[in-house]
Amino acid sequence: MPNRERSIRVEAVVLRHMDWGEADRLLWLFTRELGKVRVVAKGVRKLHSRKAGHLEPFTRTGLLLARGREMMIVTQAEAVDTFPLLRDDLLRMGYASYVIELLDRFTYEEGQNIALYRLLADTLSRICTETDTSQVVRYYEVRLLDLLGFRPQLIHCVKCGNEIKPEAQYFSAAQGGVLCPSCGPNTPGARSISMQALKFLRHYQRSSYTEAKRAHPTTAHYREMELLIQHYLTYLLERGLNTPEFLRRQKMDLPDDEQSPESPPTDHSG
Ligand SMILES: [Zn+2]
């Protein structure tokens, strides 16, 4: 009797892969239909594999998955978007690596999350096409925190509950939000945040991307938001993220004539 659940058609972004056995590869996918899953692609390391090019990391791809005994097996793959603009631009590639790493580290095989899939796919497209990639990435971080259930409180003081007034404030990762100037200094680990940076973060929190784009933070405000969000993300993950360090080094390297000899941000070859 045919089992109707034997195969499933999904759309996915390939997060990372690892060589497996003689010619196979394990893939970690974030799918629209099943959320994060680990699958096996058989024979893709053979010279003339037709599937291989459709299963590279950062590729958005349509797949047919068959249920194997332990893992699902890729039986068909057809790239939807390979994001070719990423491949020629080290900085954009660095941002894409960061976006994928962040999602990978915050998610488990816990089932479908369509909003998260859309955010990931849209963000990768935006990294390819938008001029202001800082905006794309900061917006992604704020929305990601929302969708993962870590939305920081930015409207009321997390300690006394008073509404935040238009002045410099504090932020506590441990308390998950902003603190007023009375509560902030007495809270261990709280760090200062300017009213402007806070306004931009609130704007991202409540806006669609089209609306979010209307804001034009200065480089200093981007930097302040970046550091604050990194601080919060690091607290949440309880360990440092590697990719932002890479991006910082790339930015510092940019004015030089010499191309950085460093290897790509994430080793996907396993
Ligand atoms: Zn307070």
* DSSP designation for 60: E
Q: Which residues surround ligand 1, an ion (CB under 5 A)?
A: 157, 159-160, 180, 183
Tokens (6 digits) for 72: 């699902």
Distance 196 CA to ligand 1 centre (A): 19
- pLDDT band for position 88 (50/70/90)? confident
Amino acid at position 254, single letter: L
Residue 196 CB coordination number (10 Å)? 16
Average of per-residue pLDDT across 191-211? 96
Query: Does 267 have pLDDT greater than 70?
Result: no
150 closest CA partner among 194, 98, 205, 77: 205
**pLDDT of the residue at 255:** 41
Dihedral sign for Cα 37, 239, 236, 194, please. Answer: negative
Sequence-separated (6 or more) residues with CB below 8 Å from residue 67: 5, 6, 7, 8, 73
Q: What is the pTM of this model?
A: 0.85
Distance 205 CA to ligand 1 centre (A): 21
Query: Does 214 have pLDDT greater than 60?
Result: yes
- pLDDT band for position 101 (50/70/90)? very high
Give percent of the chain above pLDDT 70: 86
Please state, in angstroms and rounded to a whole number, the distance separating the CA atoms of residues 24 and 91: 30
Mean pLDDT for all residues in the chain? 87
**pLDDT of the residue at 232:** 94
Distance 172 CA to ligand 1 centre (A): 12
Query: Does 177 have pLDDT greater than 70?
Result: yes
Query: Does 49 have pLDDT greater than 90?
Result: no
Average of per-residue pLDDT across 160-165? 94
Average of per-residue pLDDT across 238-254? 54
**pLDDT of the residue at 100:** 96
**pLDDT of the residue at 6:** 87
Tokens (6 digits) for 54: 């459709």
**45 or 245, which is more confident?**
45
Distance 202 CA to ligand 1 centre (A): 18
Tokens (6 digits) for 97: 């690596």
Q: At what angle do helices 90-106 and 243-253 cross, to 10 degrees?
A: 170
Chain mean position to CA 210? 19
Residue 227 CB coordination number (10 Å)? 14
Residue 251 CB coordination number (10 Å)? 11
